[in-house]
Amino acid sequence: MAQSFYKGYEKRQALRISYREEESPDIKIGSLCFKVSDLSENGLQIIISNGAFHDEHLKGLIRLRDGRSIGISGKVIWKKDGKIGVKLITPIPEAVIIREHQLRAEKMDENR
């Protein structure tokens, strides 16, 4: 699993990546576009700036950092502080999350 600087109890065991706003991938849901703040094998967090997301179930397309797009479907399980948490119906492959971490590391190396 990727190194984390979080020192508290972590109840989630799935591989995950949290994004800074300037690096976060887009997700298109219908005609609307949002930013993904956190992505894991089993779920994601989506920034909804105006709080106007009312659907319980969603289907969308996430555009990843390497240019690939992956389709997702899931259920909104929480809304808080301008974000929604989505539990995915079909998990995102671990290799996708690993690739996102690799691309972040490469970008950090370029910026040194």
Residue ranges of domains in the chain = 16-110
The residue with greater pLDDT, 64 or 4, is 64
Q: What is the pLDDT of residues 5-24, one digit of tens each?
A: 444 444 557 899 999 988 99
The residue with greater pLDDT, 40 or 12, is 40
The whole-number pLDDT of residue 51 equals 65
Question: How far is 95 from 87, CA to CA, in rounded Å?
Answer: 19
SS3 assignment for the chain: CCCCCCCCCCCCCCCEEECCHHHCCEEEECCEEEEEEEEECCEEEEECCCCCCCCCEEEEEEECCCCCEEEEEEEEEEEECCEEEEEECCCCCHHHHHHHHHHHHHHHHHCC
The whole-number pLDDT of residue 26 equals 96
The whole-number pLDDT of residue 4 equals 44
Closest listed residue to residue 104, CA positions, set 15, 2, 28: 2
Question: How far is 66 from 96, CA to CA, in rounded Å?
Answer: 10
Q: Which CATH number fits domain 16-110: 3.40.630.30, 1.25.40.10, 2.40.10.220, 3.30.930.10?
A: 2.40.10.220
The reported pTM is 0.82
Per-residue confidence band for 49, with pLDDT thresholds at 50, 70 and 90: confident
Segment 26-41 shows an average pLDDT of: 94
Name the average pLDDT for the chain: 86
Q: What is the pLDDT of residues 64-96, one digit of tens each?
A: 988 999 999 999 999 998 999 999 999 999 999
